[in-house]
Structures are given as structure tokens and as C-alpha cells.
């Protein structure tokens, strides 16, 4: 079947850089003679038939904007057989000959269902702040989220240092400790709690008490949301050491803002590659980069990356602090 029209959607958590990917897909597709339609609100919009035309000008002035102009949602319905069937009906009704789905693990799972069960020609593009997908070293949005978190943590450092306080700072990342580890290394935090490795709380308390005796009064501990709640950690530190501890949950601030250059470039490259795959008739795939080279993987395999080994990074962090 010859593809004439491509449908494009963003699903799951939004992230800065998604718009740059949308722009790249739309303009690369148009340049190759495809028509492009945008599906609003991710798979929920696909189920409900929320489809709009996209042209060259629809994606003007968005390369620098956070979020997604197509809107996004976490669809529960797409996980059901009825939801999938409704999505397929929209695809047929609007003559979407192929689809590009931008998102993370959940987005890929639904895309793979559409591909394997209904033979929908579909390609995935990794867009999540969590950087937790197999088949790519980097997902679009992750670098911006890390930079945003660091900016806030640098500010916390000012007050932590001035008031000689302990701070526990919770960052996002779902079940992955990637953001937390990157942020901890880049912000000079004293410690980091991540899901991928067991954390020695007793040692932390001991270090804090000993440090306190020697005059080291300000500490920053980064907690990945998938490993510990900052509020609980702060409470436990105070109980164990008697030292006053504050906590901050950075939350959704990490998902917004202007995308950094590396996210814009990655989004642009991957958008172009996704269109290439469609042109070549290669479906059921996800685009990514490994060692900065484009890498293509089966959607079925591009699942959540688990149990990464952060021992070396952690060792380095402890040497430095
Ligand atoms: O997947 C991106 C992410 O920001 C995770 O880091 C976080 O756990 C989750 O989404 C939060 O989701 P929501 O915005 O639906 O609360």
C-alpha cells in the first residue's frame, strides 16, 4: 500500500522537544509529498476522532516551545480491545495510511498493539523526560528536564549553604533513576537515592552526624521519585540525626520550559528519520540514537529500560563529595 497521508500524535507525559519533533515530522513529510494530519490528545483523540490538518505554517514558531501543540493524554481506553478498535476506525475514516506516535513506554505499547493486532503502519519516536527506553541512548525532552532541575537545585544550594541546612530534593523519572543520577552529578549533591540500587540510609545518617561535628552543615540529597519520597527521607533524617531537614519536590516544573539545543537537534533528527521509515515502508519500528548514530529497533523491543548499572557514577559522586 502506498502511503499518501501520515497521522501524527503525542501521547503520555508531555516534554520539551516534542514540538520540535512535530515540526520536523510535518516539514520532512510535506517535503516528500505526504499529507500530514495531527491527532489531538494522544490515543484518546484517536479514539474520539479528533483529527486536524497540519501544514507548513501549523508548525511555525514551535521549535522553541515546551509542551506539545497536539496536546497529550494518558489514555486508559487504548489499553482495552474496544479502545483499540475505535482507534482503528478513526485511522480508516480519516485515511491515515501511516502513524507516527511520539511518547514513552506506554505510547510504544499501544503503538505495538495497533501494529501487531491490526496491521496499522506505525513508527514510534521516543519523547519522554525519563530517558528510560530500550533502543536509544537519549529520549527527546530528557536533557531539558535535567537542565531545568539543575537550575532549581542551584538555587536551593544558595539557601542550603547560607542557612547551613540539609535538603532532600525529589526529582521525576518514573521508575528510572536516570534523571536523579545526572542531576546529582551535575549539581554536586552529596548523595542520591535511585531505584536501581539499594541505599544505605544508616551510612547517610552517620556521615551527616560526623560531618556536622566537623562543621559541614549543608547537604543536598537527590531522591528519584521511583525510589523514595523526599518528605519521608527528610523526616527520617531528622529522626535519626536530630538535624533539621527541609525537602523540595521539583515535580512538573521539570516537564516544561524551552527545550535545550540537544533536545531540539535530537527531535529534528528523529522526526526526519521517522518519515524516512514510512517512506521506505518499514513499520512497527521505533527510531532512536545509539552513540549519536540513528538506530532503529522493533517497537516490540523498545520497552522500558530497566536495571541500569549506576555503580560507577555513584562511586564518582561519592569521591567528589
Ligand atoms: O513519564 C514522565 C513523567 O513525568 C514521570 O517522570 C512521572 O512519574 C510522570 O510522568 C508523572 O505523570 P503525570 O503528569 O501524569 O502525573
Euclidean distance between CA atoms 136 and 107, whole angstroms: 15
Atom 8, ligand 1: residue with shortest CA distance: 174
Pocket test for ligand 1, best of 174, 178, 249, 251 (most atoms within 8 A of CB): 174
Q: How do strand 191-193 and strand 245-249 relate by DSSP bridges?
A: unpaired
Determine the pLDDT at residue 306: 84
**Closest ligand 1 atom to Cα of 12:** 1
Same fold, 5-141+259-301 and 143-256: yes
Residue 305 pLDDT > 80, yes or no?
Answer: yes
| 55 assigned to active site | no
Split at pLDDT 50, 70, 90, the class of 1 is confident
* CATH label, 143-256, candidates 3.40.50.460, 1.10.357.10, 3.20.10.10, 3.40.50.2300: 3.40.50.460
Determine the pLDDT at residue 169: 98
Report the pocket of ligand 1 as residue ranges, CB < 6 Å.
13, 74, 104, 128-130, 172-174, 225, 255
Q: Which residues contact 216 (CB under 8 A, 6 or more apart)?
A: none
Determine the pLDDT at residue 308: 87
Q: Mean pLDDT across the chain, nearest whole number?
A: 97
Find where cell 521506505 sits: 280
Residue 307 pLDDT > 80, yes or no?
Answer: no
Split at pLDDT 50, 70, 90, the class of 254 is very high
* Maximum pairwise Cα distance, the chain: 73
> Catalytic one among 130, 191, 207, 263?
130
Mean pLDDT, residues 55-81 = 98
Split at pLDDT 50, 70, 90, the class of 103 is very high
Domain ranges across the chain: 5-141+259-301, 143-256
Euclidean distance between CA atoms 248 and 240, whole angstroms: 19
Alpha helices in the chain (DSSP H): 18-31, 42-48, 81-93, 105-118, 142-163, 178-187, 201-214, 230-241, 261-280, 311-320
* CATH number for the domain formed by residue range(s) 5-141+259-301: 3.40.50.450
Amino acid at each position: 500500500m502506498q502511503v499518501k497521508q501520515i497521522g501524527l500524535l503525542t501521547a503520555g507525559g508531555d516534554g520539551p522537544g516534542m514540538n520540535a519533533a512535530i515540526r520536523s515530522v510535518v516539514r520532512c513529510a510535506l517535503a516528500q509529498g505526504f499529507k500530514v494530519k495531527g491527532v489531538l490528545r494522544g490515543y484518546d483523540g484517536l479514539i474520539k476522532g479528533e483529527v486536524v490538518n497540519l501544514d507548513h505554517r501549523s508548525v511555525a514558531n514551535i521549535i522553541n516551545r515546551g509542551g506539545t501543540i497536539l496536546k497529550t493524554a494518558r489514555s486508559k481506553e487504548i489499553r482495552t480491545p474496544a479502545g483499540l478498535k475505535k482507534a482503528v476506525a478513526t485511522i480508516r475514516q480519516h485515511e491515515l495510511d501511516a502513524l507516527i506516535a511520539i511518547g514513552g513506554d506506554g505510547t510504544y505499547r499501544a503503538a505495538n498493539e495497533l501494529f501487531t493486532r491490526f496491521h496499522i503502519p506505525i513508527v514510534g519516536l521516543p519523547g519522554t523526560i525519563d530517558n528510560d527506553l530500550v533502543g536509544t541512548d537519549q529520549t527527546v525532552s530528557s536533557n531539558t528536564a535535567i537542565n531545568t532541575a539543575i537550575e532549581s537545585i542551584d538555587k536551593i544550594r544558595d539557601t542550603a549553604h547560607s542557612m547551613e541546612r540539609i535538603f532532600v530534593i525529589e526529582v521525576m523519572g518514573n521508575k528510572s533513576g536516570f534523571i536523579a543520577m545526572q542531576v546529582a552529578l551535575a549539581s554536586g549533591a552529596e548523595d542520591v537515592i535511585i531505584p536501581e540500587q539499594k541505599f544505605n540510609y544508616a551510612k547517610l545518617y552517620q556521615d551527616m552526624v560526623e560531618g556536622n561535628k566537623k562543621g559541614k552543615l549543608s547537604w543536598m540529597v537527590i531522591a528519584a521519585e521511583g525510589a523514595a519520597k523526599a518528605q519521608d527521607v527528610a523526616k527520617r533524617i531528622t529522626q535519626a540525626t536530630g538535624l533539621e531537614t527541609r525537602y523540595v519536590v521539583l515535580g512538573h516544573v521539570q516537564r516544561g520550559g524551552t527545550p535545550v539545543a540537544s533536545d531540539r537537534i535530537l527531535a529534528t533528527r528523529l522526526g526526519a528519520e521517522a518519515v524516512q521509515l514510512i517512506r521506505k515502508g518499514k513499520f512497527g519500528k521505533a527510531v532512536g540514537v545509539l552513540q549519536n548514530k540513528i538506530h532503529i529497533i522493533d517497537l516490540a523491543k523498545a520497552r522500558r529500560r530497566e536495571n541500569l548499572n549506576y555503580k560507577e557514577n555513584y562511586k564518582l559522586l561519592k569521591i567528589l563529595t
